[in-house]
Every structure is written in structure tokens, then in C-alpha cells.
Structure 1
Amino acid sequence: MKQNRKSTFKVLFYLKKNAPKKNGKVAIMCRITIDGKQAQFSTKQEVLPDKWDLKFGRVSGKADEALKINLKLDEVRTRLQSLYDELIKHDNFVTADKLKNTFLGFDVTEETLLSFYKKFLKDFTKMYEKGTRALSTLKSYRLVYNHLRNFISYKYKRKDITFRELTEEFINDFDYYLRINIGIVLTYILPLKKMTSMAVDQELIYKDPFRNFHITMQETDRGYLVREEIEKLIAYEPKNKRIELTRDMFVFSCFTGFAFVDVQQLKKTHIQTFFDGNMWIIKRRQKTNTASNVRLLEVAQNIIKKYEGLTKDDYLFPRICNATCNTHLKTIMADCGSVKHKPISFHWARHTFGTLFVTEGIPLESVSKMMGHKDLRTTQIYAKITNNKISKDVDLIVQKFDQFAQMTQQV
């Protein structure tokens, strides 16, 4: 492999003066520095401190003992340089710890991609079981693992690959494989990019194979309801209690911005009277574990009151699965004569919240905080600027330009 980036490599010998032996001598240590990171080990040589040449990192004088020790130090330096060159040639990268362990003869087992991924999945599963990660995200990571395993089997006829084989060529081939066989790229490439970043941080990879790989995120037309459609939804007469629950939860989400999983997790303890004397929902989003503090409008409060005493374990709403809700929503929207151009899902309510509140003049910063976004740019995607919003903004300046209108009438 060709090395695209040369690392900085230094070897320094020094004395371990804080641990002198009974004979007054101290151990001579070797410090390896690669790209600013260090590793130390004993050379098994020792010398009296006053015999050490600090400037040159050697024993001073020409006595037999001095010559013998300096020869050993030269052998250590030469061996380290040779091993460094071999590791660079073979693996295309080397760390101070890896070079040290190789020199000392320790077993240096190469980490493999899928075994590393398995460890990540195990840790992520534990976080899901503690309620700090979403099941949907866990399922997504598992699905990517399966695609990677199938790709490696197809491409390399093996069960796994080492991290030194995770190159730009591998990324491009996996990208092509996904496009041809799966049809979806972005959803499955991003988890692999996360694994790669973790491997770089842990020095399992010398350089990031994604550094020249550009992932294009196309702007999507996120579904949402306009004000008139929300009014139809609220006025809708459900056919049964389960459909009514779906309608109520969806409307609740339209005015709070919570995703389905968060709505189902809401309990009475999440509702608090806040600093301004109003009722708020104080909760962390399951997907990102970020704070999402939302002031409860009257429409949301009315829906909560409707289900008081009808739930177990202090939940605000009865239990229902997301798939069932999405099926009910299609029925509801068909009955209402709304949203015929594409299938609706419960997540539309969250998009509706962002779009509705921005349209009504709530600053993006406030909407972002309520939705629990880590990045304002995410809110800018969710909260579409509609023609209605543009019209309202222009209304604010119409009178300021009346003078110009009068002047043009006389031209």
C-alpha cells in the first residue's frame, strides 16, 4: 500500500531518576513518539546518573561499560526503525503503542471490522435496554451490519476484514453494492462512517477512508399538514376508539412536536408548572437524549385531560404501536379528503409542528429548542417556509412602501 501521509517518528532515551536502585544506578528508558503520541518501555539497561549525557541520550565516556550500553541502545533504535518501516509498508499506519508492543514481542491482534461492529452493537443494545436509545436506531444499525457481512462475503469470499483493508476502494465498492442491490445508500453508509470515525479515534486506522468520500444529502419534501387540514382532522368523527386515539395523539404531536416514541413515553411526571406559571412538558428525546421543553398549549392540554384515568402506570396515552397508528392515519386522511399525493405517517405531525410554528412567527431558535434539535440547520429542514409565511412577512412592510406606491401612480 502506498502511504499518503507521512507520520512523525522519534526515539528518545532517558533516565528513570525517580526509581534509583540500591547500587545508585537508574533504568534507561526508551520513549517512542509518533504523531505526538507516546509510549515508553525499559531498555533493560542501567547507568549512574552522572554518567548520562542528556544532550545526546547516551552514556558518556569510552569505558567498556559505556560502549556496551550504547551499543545496546543503538540496536534498540535500529530495531524500532526497522519495525516502524515494516508496519508502515504492511498496514499503512502505526501507533506508538503498536510499535512498542511489536518490539517487545507482545501478541498484537488485528481488529476486524465486523468484530468491532459487534462490540458496538452490544454496547448500543445495553443503552437501548436502559431507555437511552431508540429501538428504531438499533434495528437500523443491525440491518447495516447484515449488509456489510453480505457484502464482505460477496466481495472477499470471507467472513470479515481487518481495518487496514477498510480503504477508500472498500467504501466506494460498498456504495456501488448498495446502489445496485439495495437501492438505498445514505441510510446504510452513515452508520459505517460512524464505525470508521470510532476506529480512527481508537487508532485502529491511521487515516479515515471516508475523507474523500462525499455523501450527498438531497433535500426532501417532508410531509406536513397545513392549517386547514389540521382543522379537518380535529373535526373528524372517528369510526372507533382506536382510530380516535390515533387522531388525538397525532393532533397532540402537531402542537408539541414530539415523535411517536416520545408521545408514548410521556407520563404525568413530565408535566410541570414552569417558571412562567404555565404548564410545560419537560422531557429528553429518546432518539438523541437532548432536552425538549415544550409549553403546553390549550389544545394539547384538552387532549391530555380526555385520557385522564384511562391509562396505566401514569402514562398520558393508552398503548398503541406505530404501525397501527400509520394504518389508521391513512384511513383518517382518506376520509378527510386530505394528503392524497403521498402516504402519511405519524412523523408528519412533528414536521407539521415545525412548519406551523415557524409560519406563525416563532423564531427558528425557539422551535429548535422545543424540538430538541442539536443543530439549528436541522430545524431549517423540518420547518419549511411556506408561501403563507412569506405573505405574512411581506404584510409587515406593505405600509412602509405606501409612499412609493403613491409616487408611481403619478408617473
Structure 2
Amino acid sequence: MATVKALTRKNKINSKGECVVYLRYGHKQQTKDISSGIKIPANNWDESKELVNSAKGIRKTKHNQALLKQFERSDAVFNTSIGKEKASLLEIANTLKLENKEPYADLVKEKYLEHKSEKKDSKDLALELFESFITNSSKSEGTKANYRTAKYHLKKFEEFTNRRYRLYEIDLKWIDAYKRFLYKDIERGERAKDKGKGISDNSVGTTVKNLKVFLRYLKDRNYNVPDIIDKIKVPRIEKTIIFLTEEELNQLSNYSFSEEKYEKVRDVFVLNCYTGLRYSDLQRLNKHHIQDGAIEMRAYKNQKDLYVPLTSKPQQILEKYNYELPSLSEQKFNAYIKRACEKAEINKQVELIKTASGNKSYEYVPKWKVITSHIAIKTFISLCGKKGISPKAVSEITGKSVEIIIKHYYGIDKETIKEQMNRVF
């Protein structure tokens, strides 16, 4: 009777700490170790269970549940793949028996490698691999949504050119043609405000950036990806950093709403203007995360430890809701906070600049129209800058790098510029 066992070789670990999973096929006292081609983190291999287990030795607590779930999802991808390869070997053995052939180890290995070669030839289609990349990703749902948009754009490019692209075809000329399509030819979706062709420069940039992430993911897994990843330029136009000034934040905080839903969403938004948490972390914040007058938690998105000292205002809001903040989807939250800011007359005009194919258009709108949960983080970082808190300290609080903070989150109002100029001159 044929048997298959999964194992690793401790003397064959690469510089990344990875090792290949081998399949030990046995039949009639003959065995053969066959490479599955699957690379796993060597330290996470459970030899007795023949599985990847990243959580072994880690005690489960309330605070590390999200991290353990992430490990579980990641392990499931590896273990499912290993299970499929084991099943493939047994299927080959059974097929040989039906053909009245003895499934000796050498013959089964030969058939298995032939099968792998055929699969490889049929599985280098970029679009199909993109779907697998998204499914196996352990990133947040927001990041996965961006990946799905990038996959949709690739699908539309294939429809536009009436071709299905394989990995080896993705060279720099292909990238140039893809960018031209995104700038000028792609039809805007049904949800777009303005119908027509071509998407904004920053939308092109996001799609190209996620294409690079996808290609790097495949290259790290030994797919035949052309050596162009670091040469792909990601177009990006820096946007004006919009945030609430201290005066506007007080105006919003002190406004009396007649409808409870606007009061609740205002309270959550204001609290975040004083803490700078991502929305995913804000929604799971509870009393267990409050230690010695500060929020201590691990960020869901990047698993960095956050430490946010609580001042009086956010402490009051947390106590008001007994440390159980109102829960809303981010989409509904963004709709309600706009309406709340409109009622509180956050009406200062801000200039929006849209760039498509290098062509700029300008529009002035009242600030309440552009308020989202993300603006709370920008407000927090900008107020920290105004109060003299160093970017390094803000980086430790928010879990964002100093470079990202300065480039995308730190805004300075005119009054702060005046104060600093007058102090110097």
C-alpha cells in the first residue's frame, strides 16, 4: 500500500529561514523523497503533525487573538498546498494501479514531476495568479479591496487588448502600455462621479504599486517573473494634507446635536483626533487596552505595538461610553461624520486638485465634504506637530514611519506658520 509523509530537512535552510517540504513516498519497502516545491518558515514546522504551525508555544490571550488568527490563515495556505501535493502523489499511485502498473517510487516520482511541469505551464497566467495572491493574503480587508481593484484593472486591460498575459510577458514595455491604458482608455466604473475614460494619476499609482506587490509575492515563491520589479516607477501626485485646526476641533466637540447618531459619530471622531488610531484598531478598542492611563495595543494592520497616552478629552469620551465605543462600518461612519461636520458648520473652503494624465483641475469645497475617518489621524498628527511633539514620538504612538508621517499626514495651518516666523524673526 502506498504511503506519503511530509517532512523537512533541517540542514537545508536558506538565508530567509525557509526550507522546502519534501514528500516521502513509499511502496513495497521502496521510498523516495520528492520536493514539493513548497517553501515554509523552518521554525514553524510541526514534525509530528506534518503541518505548519506558527502559533506553537504561544499562549492564547485576549490581546493576541488577532495575531493568532493571522497565523492561522497563513498556516492554512501552506497546509492546504501540502495536503494537495500529498493527495496528488496518491492519486498518481491509484491511477497506475488501475492501469495494472505497480506504483513503484521511481515511476510515481516521474509521473509527479511531469504533472507538476504541465501545471506550471498552465498556471503562469497573470490574472489567475492575482486571484490566488489575494486569497492567500493575510492583509486587512481594506488592503485586499485595493488588491481586488488592481486585479479588476488588469482584467479590463486584457479585455481591451483581447489577450491573456503570462508572467514572462510582463516587461517594462508591457508596463508602459498598461499605464497608458489606465491613464486614457479604461472605462470608469458605474460608481464614478464623472463618466468617461481614464483614471486619476494617483489611482494609476495605487494600481501600479499593488501590481509590484503582486509580482514580488510571486518572485519570492520562485515563479518566473522578469527582473523588472525595482525598475517599475509608481506615479504619484502629492495631495494637500487636510486636517481640522484646534479651533475647528473645539467647534465640533462643543456642538449640540439633536440626533444621537451624529453625537456618537462625532465623539468617536474627536476621540481619534486625540489618539490617532487606525479605524480598524479604534473599532476594537476596549477597557482591556487601557493600562496606566494609556492605550496599549497591537495594531491590526502591521502588528506594531502602539502606546498612546490618554489626555482628559479622550478619557472623558471613553468613560461616557463605558469603554465600549459605538460600532459602525467605516463607510457609514464616513457618511455620518460628513453630515455631523456640516451641521457643526466646518465650512472653511479647501482646494481640491485632481490630476489625470498630467492634466490638473481645481475645485473649492467646504471642508466638511472631505471629512473621513482618515482625517482624524491627520488631525492628530498635525496637532502633535503644532504642540511640539517630535515626529519620532508620533511615530511610536501611531505605528507609522517618520517619513510617512511627514510626507502624508503632517499638515501645518497658517497660524502655526505665522507663530514660527514671528518667533524666529
**Smaller-chain TM-score range?**
0.5 to 0.7
Instruction: Deviation per CA, 1:44-79: give whole Å up to 9, x if none.
Output: xxxxxxxxxxxxxxxxxxxxxxxxxxxxxxxxxxxx
Q: 1:245 aligns with which of 264, 286, 290?
A: 264
- SS at the partner of 1:347? helix
CA deviation map 1:123-172 (0-9, x unaligned): 12xx3xxxxx32211112122212212222331433xx221111112211
Query: Distance in 2 between the 1:214 and 1:143 partners?
Result: 19
Q: Secondary structure at the match of 2:307?
A: strand
**Per-residue Cα deviation, 1:75-100 (whole angstroms, up to 9, x for no partner):** xxxxxxxxxxxxxxxxxxxxxxxxxx
Of residues 100, 123, 127 in structure 2, which corresponds to 1:114? 127
Whether 2:222 is the aligned partner of 1:199: answer: no
Of the two, which has the highest radius of gyration? Answer: 1
Rounded to whole Å, the distance in 1 between the matches of 2:412 and 2:243 is 12
TM-score (normalised: structure 2): 0.60
Contact 1:113 1:162 in 2 (8 A): yes
Helix, strand or coil: the match of 1:265?
Answer: coil
1:319 paired with 2:322, answer no
- Equivalent residue number for residue 378 of structure 1: 404
**1:296 paired to 2:310:** yes
In the aligned structure 1, how far is the partner of 2:174 from the partner of 2:422? 55
Q: Say which of 380, 383, 395 aligns to 1:356.
A: 383
Name the amino acid aligned to 2:282: V
Q: How many pairs align?
A: 275
Change (3 A) 1:239 1:260: farther
- Give 2:264's aligned amino acid: L
Query: Which of 268, 284, 302 is 2:298 aligned to?
Result: 284
Equivalents in 2 of 1:302, 1:185: separation in Å?
Answer: 43
The answer on 1:153 being equivalent to 2:172 is no
Name the aligned partner's letter for residue 252 of structure 1: L
Give the Cα–Cα distance (whole angstroms) in 1 for the partners of residues 335 and 130 of structure 2.
34
Cα offset, 1:235, TM superposition: 0.7
Alpha-carbon distance, 1:194 to partner? 0.6
Aligned partners of 2:218 and 2:225 also within 8 Å: no
Contact 2:271–2:313 (CA<8 Å) still a contact in 1? yes
Q: Residue 368 in 1 paired to residue 382 in 2?
A: no
Report what 1:228 is aligned to.
Answer: 247
Using the TM superposition, give the Cα deviation of residue 368 of structure 1 relative to its aligned residue in structure 2, in angstroms.
1.4
By how many angstroms is 1:292 displaced?
Answer: 2.1
Among 172, 177, 196, the residue aligned to 2:176: 172
SS at match of 2:232: coil
What is the DSSP-based 3-state SS (H/G/I as helix, E as strand, rest coil) of the residue aligned with 1:237? coil
Checking the alignment, whether the CA contact within 8 Å between 2:125 and 2:166 is kept in structure 1 is yes
More displaced 10-residue stretch of structure 1: 238-247 or 286-295: 286-295
In the alignment, structure 1 residue 208 sits paired with structure 2 residue 227: yes
Deviation at 1:105, TM superposition (A): 7.2
Tell me by how many angstroms 1:395 deviates.
5.4
TM-score normalised by the chain length of structure 1: 0.62
Provide the secondary structure at the position in 2 that maps to 1:198: helix
Name which of structure 1's ranges 287-296 and 387-396 shifts more when overlaid on structure 2.
387-396
Q: Which residue number in structure 2 is paired with residue 142 of structure 1?
A: 148
Please list, as runs of the form range in 1=range in 2, the aligned pairs for 1:113-132 lying within 5 A after superposition: 113-124=126-137, 127=138
1:371 aligned partner, one-letter code: T
Q: Give the AA of the match of 2:335.
A: T
Paired position in structure 2 for 1:31 = none
What secondary structure is seen at the aligned counterpart in 2 of 1:370?
A: helix
* Structure 1 outlier segments of 4+, above 6 Å: none
| Paired position in structure 2 for 1:24 | none
RMSD: 2.3
Which deviations, in whole Å up to 9, do the C-alpha atoms of 1:234-266 show, x marking residues without a partner?
A: 110012211111000000000000122221111
SS of alignment partner, residue 292 of structure 1:
strand
Structure 1 residues 163 and 242: alpha-carbon distance in aligned structure 2, compared to 1, 3 A threshold: same
CA distance in 2, matches of 1:187, 1:238: 38
1:306 and 2:306 matched? no
Instruction: Tell me the distance in 1 between the aligned counterparts of 2:126 and 2:332.
Output: 37
Q: What is the CA distance between 1:319 and its match in structure 2?
A: 1.6
More strand by share: 2
Shift of the 206–320 alpha-carbon distance from structure 1 to 2, 3 Å rule, reads closer
Shift of 1:388: 3.2
- Structure 2: gaps spanning 5 or more residues: 1-109, 189-198, 348-365
Structure 2 CA distance, aligned partners of 1:106 and 1:262? 45
Cα distance, 1:397 vs structure 2: 4.7
How do 1:5-44 residues align onto structure 2 when only pairs under 5 Å count? none
Q: Distance in 2 between matches of 1:242 and 1:385?
A: 31
- Judged with a 3 Å threshold, the aligned counterparts in structure 2 of structure 1 residues 105 and 136 are, in CA distance, closer, same or farther, namely closer
Which letter does structure 1 place at the counterpart of 2:343?
D
Q: Which amino acid aligns with 1:121?
A: I
Answer yes or no: is 1:262 the counterpart of 2:276.
no
Q: Which moved more, 1:298-307 or 1:197-206?
A: 197-206
CA distance in 1, matches of 2:390, 2:304: 19
- In 1, distance between residues paired with 2:267 and 2:307? 20
**Partners of 2:258 and 2:331 in 1: CA distance:** 18
Aligned to 1:311: none
Q: Which runs of 5+ in 1 are unaligned?
A: 1-100, 128-132, 274-278, 309-314, 399-411
CA distance in 2, matches of 1:122, 1:370: 31
Note if contact 2:299-2:305 (Cα within 8 Å) is conserved in structure 1: yes
Contact 1:254 1:350 in 2 (8 A): yes
Q: Percent identity?
A: 25
Worse-matched range after superposition: 215-224 or 186-195: 215-224
Counterpart code for 1:320: L
